[in-house]
Structure 1
Amino acid sequence: MLEVDERTPPLLVHSGAGVLLERFPLGTRVVYPPQPRPGVGDVDAAIGAALAEPVGSAPLSALLRPGMRLAISVDDLRTPQPRVRGVDARGRILEQVLSAAAAAGVDEVTLVVANGLHRRLSAAEVAGIVGERVFRSFWPTQLACHDAEDAANLVEVGRSDAGEPVQIARAVAEADLLVAVGIVQGPGQGGLGALVEGLSSYASLRAVHGVAAVTQAAAAGAGGGGTVDGRVVQGAAAGRVGAVLGAAVPVFAVAATVNAAVGPGPFLTRREWEWSPADSALAFGVGRGLELLGGRGRARVLRDLAADYAITSVTAGEPQAVAVAAWQAVDAQQRVDVDGQSDVVVVGLPPFGAYQGGAPADPVLAAHGALADVFARHRGRPVVRENGAMIVYHPVAARFSQLHQPSYVDFYEEVLAESSDPATIEAKFERQYATDPWYASLYRTSLAHHGVHPFHRWYETAPARAHLAEVVFVGGDRAVCARLGYRAASTLADALEIVAGSVGRDPSITYLHSPPQLITEVR
């Protein structure tokens, strides 16, 4: 952590598809993410060892037998972000799992991409995750994306203690064993609750993603994910539906974790005063180059963004135990201790995100990136005090992907035009969008997010909205920010002037210098 003084150089700040070099007020605390940790070395050997020596479970080979029905789920492109360059660890895990199944005489194997209500993936995207050999062997008859609107292939496997129905993909519900393969990089990933999210239906996820559930999870400490005293922190609703899945289908989880080497250059993980002349030139070139490219060029660059991650751990076995182990590895890579809360937190949003699909963030996802993703990345208390202010660098504009986000367009134009309050939106509009046949058709056939998708992302901003007195987007369109319920400013100085009524004219300021991702723990 750094405190800005007269000698501090301008600091790198992400702002959507661009980067800036910004001078911060004297005394600003700058929280840097930890340096990338080394990888495990031989990834294939680490995978083999995890399958042979799992936590809380017999080895995978002991769970496989001739004549059984094996289902394998694999996480979609939401994680890691940016995507993996080259061979994806999930493909390497799948190859060893499938080899073990073949050696055990298992012939009936089905693979499901666990995309849930998120957009289904193209064939090329699936191939990038599972690898060409697995893709050619199984696509499209034994390998497909989950379809949350395919009623004929959804099976109710039980109801939670609160009466919530748990409907999951038929191939999973009827399996003798489910092997769940994923990469864990951020809060809320891993465990049975997250597995239900990828394999179920809107009816099953209403309770998990509703405003009340999101608020309860944040109050319970699940906003930043992670573990407390060795148990997975998750919302009560996610825990309830996850328990139903775990009781209905035997699950063997395999999770890899990655380090913080997000690229495209080492300047992203170095302190500015450590930059070489080449780093400075690259930082300037990235910002200026993206500015000059124009919309289509920037979109192409964003679509092709990839990182050379190192795999820091591979764990297999009982799903909750695997989630705990994965989170310990993530915590070791990302956690930073911070002394006390501040009046203002400043963040810059990068050009990639879990739901963008290679496109610039639309207004809803820009708000989600700041208020749900970055804000929630803490253990215990957030780095900004209650009734403090958040200043976000992002050129918020009414731009959407017509391919991936048709319901987002209407959510912005129709829903937010009437109200930005999550509870009001949930009560008045959610069911209409969730059951609209046109959105359902686009989800099933055209790579679009489900009709209810923007609602869930908006609800996830509710805890931050309740905590903060002011949110200001530097570089954002004023009319668009106003529709979101926030303010816009041209410069950092303007933003600090706007929030002065809430935090005073000499506030304490913390800048979260990210990406790479970090998790704060306020002492």
Structure 2
Amino acid sequence: MTTVRLEYGDGHLDAELPDDAIEIRAGQSGAEPDPLPDPVAATREAVQNPVGMPRLDQLVGPRSKITIAFPDRVKGGVHDSAHRRVAVPLLLDELERAGVSSRDVTLVCAIGLHRKNTEDEFAALLGDDTLSRLDPSQIVNHDAEDPDQMVDIGTSRHGDPVQMNRRLLDADLSIMLGHTSGNPYGGYSGGYKMPATGLTSWRSIRSHHSPGTMQRPDFVPASTDSHFRHQLQAIGRAMEAAMPRPFFTVDAVLDAASRQLKVAAGAIAEVEQATWPTAGRRTELVLDGPPADVLVVGMPRNFHYGNGMGSNPILMMQAAGSSISRAKNALRADPVIIVASVCDGWFNDDEFPATVAVYDALQTVDTAADLTRFEDEFSTRTDWVEAYRHGGAYHPFHAFSMAYMGGLAKINSRSVIIAGAQRPDLAHGMGAATAATVEEALADAGALLRTDPRVLVVPELSKPAYHLSIGR
């Protein structure tokens, strides 16, 4: 047996796993591409030589109104050379050379249904250079519930509602920053995923973060050729059709340390095609077979959605479902998933006010997919909407999208076993089994599968992970 340290709650725990367990750690598995030696120069080169679109100085001029949308804190880092920190000042320089006044630029954080950023978080995300060039009123959060800012423009070619931020319609040009990173939803972040999830309403987001899309067989494993991804593209293109010009996008492929591996700018479709191959070399990891029988993951309390991932059972199961989406091609058809999670019942009501109610509703239905009957009631509840708008909370529909991904953990496994749960009853309420330790959970998995299990372990869910598959 070998000892593997797993993230667990506010710290770690050591688990004894078979010697032949395959351990996957971000930045330490596979051949990572080298980061760009000069991300500033690479970003400038990309912006000045866009693909599929003219240069900025051919698109805008004096008195042009510009919206620059950028990703929230969920991805990308806050180091000095982070993509947001590098790209925004360079874009302001290019716009100034084209005659655009900085007074005519608005920065919008594309939070979608995530919680809004504080001024201190904007400072960390954007850096002093950007903050010194713009008035604070020019840096805003997207607000999916602001009646003065949201516009209904109809439906996409798939019939999905398209309700978008008015700033995109009012601007002469909207520039979109994105991070092209491996994602369990639709293959990669960035590209059309950015506007379709970051600058729309909960009703638009519901159209794809729903059982009707997420329970299709093409959603798991993560893929860029899924109905989910096609919906994002269709919504994004409907947005562009209503805008004065299509998005000018600047996407960076990121490594496990959020360093740029490649930067491309221009039309979204061309930028996706330019960045996805590099993202694939970083993200797609092929393992020697046979497929694993058991996936073991270590789950911290503090995760990219915020505090509570390893203690709030709705978020805990979402992370389990995401882990399966990333690893499904390296697992047997009916694997057992073992999650080292504290699961102590701290829901973090301040940031996730709707998750207790969604958890309670889940106890009254057969599957997570049946929660759809509660969506309209919960997602329009005044106090929760106000908490999203003014109280630093996630939108109430976000809890449903988390529960639906959690439901995929059950659909795509023989069993989910929560190891080390301090509130086993909450894990049971999510449809999971429990064990006191990882070792006990592994013994239970072996008995359930009737085999000496081959184990795949991802010790740190807080780090960017891979899309895993087995070599043929």
TM-score by length of 1: 0.81
> Which of these residues, 398, 401, 408, is aligned with residue 456 of structure 1?
401
Amino acid aligned to 2:210: G
Listed one character per residue, the Cα deviations across residues 413-442 of structure 1 (whole Å, up to 9, x for unaligned) are x22332361221112x11111110111111
Mapped partners of 1:401, 1:512: distance in 2:
25
Aligned to 2:321: 371
**Secondary structure of 1:313's match?**
strand
2:388 is aligned, of 443, 451, 459, to 443
Letter of the structure 2 residue corresponding to residue 384 of structure 1:
L
- How far the C-alpha of 1:195 sits from its partner, in A, is 1.4
Contact 2:89–2:130 (CA<8 Å) still a contact in 1?
A: yes
Equivalent runs, 1:108-257 vs 2, <5 Å = 108-187=104-183, 188-216=188-216, 219-220=217-218, 223-226=221-224, 234-249=228-243, 250-257=246-253
Name the counterpart of 2:22. Answer: 29
Does 2:273 correspond to 1:324?
yes
Match among 345, 350, 353 for residue 403 of structure 1: 350
Are residues 87 and 31 of structure 1, via their aligned partners in 2, closer, same or farther at CA, if it must alter by over 3 Å? closer
Specify which of 435, 458, 466 is matched with residue 518 of structure 1. Answer: 466
Counterpart mapping for 1:448-487 below 5 A: 448-476=393-421, 477-487=423-433
* Aligned counterparts of 2:139 and 2:384: Cα–Cα separation in 1: 24
Distance 1:377 1:321 in 2: 25
Query: Could you give the per-residue CA deviations for residues 482-506 of structure 1, whole angstroms, max 9, x where no partner exists?
Result: 1111011112231133334531142
Q: Is 1:382 paired with 2:378?
A: no
Q: Distance in 1 between matches of 2:129 and 2:197?
A: 27
Question: Cα gap change, 1:31/1:450 in structure 2, threshold over 3 Å: closer, same or farther?
Answer: closer
| In structure 1, distance between residues paired with 2:23 and 2:315 | 25
Higher mean displacement: 501-510 or 148-157: 501-510
Match of 1:341 in 2: 291
**CA-CA distance at 1:350 after TM superposition:** 4.0
Q: Which residue of 1 aligns with 2:9?
A: 16
Pick closer, same or farther for the CA change 1:244–1:516 going to 2, 3 Å: closer
Aligned-pair CA distance for 1:223: 4.1
Where do 4+ consecutive residues of structure 1 move more than 6 Å? Answer: none
The Cα RMSD (Å) is 2.4
Cα separation, 1, equivalents of 2:124 and 2:429: 37
Contact in 1 for aligned 2:82/2:259 (Cα 8 Å): no
| Paired AA for residue 375 in structure 2 | E
In 2, the alpha carbon distance for the partners of 1:383 and 1:371 equals 15
SS of residue paired to 1:41: coil
Q: Do the aligned partners of 2:8 and 2:342 also contact (CA within 8 Å) in 1?
A: yes
For 2:263, the equivalent position in structure 1 comes to 314
Tell me, what secondary structure is at the counterpart of 1:346? strand
SS at match of 2:171: coil
How many residues of Structure 1 are paired with residues of Structure 2 in the alignment? 456
- Which SS does the other structure have where 1:376 is aligned? helix
Given residue 485 of structure 1, which amino acid in structure 2 is its aligned partner? G
Counterparts in 2 of 1:39 and 1:87: CA distance versus 1, 3 Å: closer
Runs of 5+ unmatched residues, structure 2 = none
Q: Using the alignment, how far apart are the partners of 2:122 and 2:196 within structure 1?
A: 20
Normalised to the residue count of structure 2, the TM-score between the two structures is 0.89
- Separation in 2 of the partners of 1:254 and 1:347? 33
What is the alpha-carbon distance in structure 1 between the residues aligned to residue 21 and residue 86 of structure 2? 44
SS at match of 1:23: strand
Going from structure 1 to structure 2, the CA distance change for 1:26 and 1:132 (only over 3 Å counts) comes to closer
Over residues 135-184 of structure 1, what are the superposed CA-to-partner deviations in whole Å (9 max), with x where a residue is unaligned?
34434422200010011211123421233321111111222211001223
How far 1:35 moved relative to its partner? Answer: 5.9
* Alignment-mate amino acid for residue 397 of structure 1: D
Q: 1:314 to 1:167 in 2, by over 3 A?
A: same
Deviation at 1:196? 1.8
The alpha-carbon deviation at position 352 of structure 1 amounts to 4.2
Kept in 2, the 8 Å contact 1:214–1:462? The answer is no
Compared CA separation, residues 358 and 434, structure 1 to 2 (3 A):
closer
* More helix per residue: 1
Q: Which amino acid aligns with 1:353?
A: F
Q: CA deviation at 1:392?
A: 1.1
CA 1:447–1:492: 2 relative to 1, 3 Å: same
Residue 96 of structure 1 corresponds to: 90
Distance 2:158 2:255 in 1: 38
Deviation at 1:385, TM superposition (A): 1.7
Alignment of 1:262-301 (within 5 A): none
Q: Distance in 1 between matches of 2:265 and 2:231?
A: 25
Shift of 1:358: 8.4
SS in 2 for 1:377: helix
**Contact 1:497–1:505 (CA<8 Å) still a contact in 2?**
no
Stretch of structure 1 that moved more, 414-423 or 388-397: 414-423
Letter in 2 for 1:520: L
Inter-partner Cα distance in structure 2 for 1:435 and 1:136:
38
Alpha carbons of structure 1 residues 112 and 129: separation in structure 2 relative to 1, 3 Å: same
Instruction: Classify the secondary structure of the residue corresponding to 1:461.
Output: helix
The 10-residue stretch of structure 1 (465-474 or 161-170) with the greater mean CA deviation from structure 2? 161-170
**Distance in 2 of aligned mates of 1:505 and 1:149:** 52
SS at match of 2:63: coil
Match of 1:292 in 2: none
> Deviation digits for residues 47-100 of structure 1, max 9, x if unmatched?
1101112222222332222232211100101113xx333453202200111111
Read off the aligned partner of 1:334 and give its amino acid letter: T
Partner of 2:303: 353
AA partner of residue 28 (structure 1): A
Match of residue 489 from structure 1: 435
Q: Distance in 1 between matches of 2:124 and 2:386?
A: 25
Q: Report the Cα distance in structure 1 between the residues aligned to 2:464 and 2:150, rounded to whole angstroms.
A: 38
SS at match of 1:452: helix
Partners of 1:38 and 1:310 within 8 A in 2: no
SS in 1 for 2:148: helix
| 1:398 partner letter | G
User: Aligned to 1:14, what secondary structure does the other structure show?
Assistant: strand
CA 222–496 in structure 1, closer or farther in 2 if over 3 Å, else same: closer
Note closer, same or farther for the CA distance 1:484–1:463 as it changes in structure 2 (3 Å cut): closer
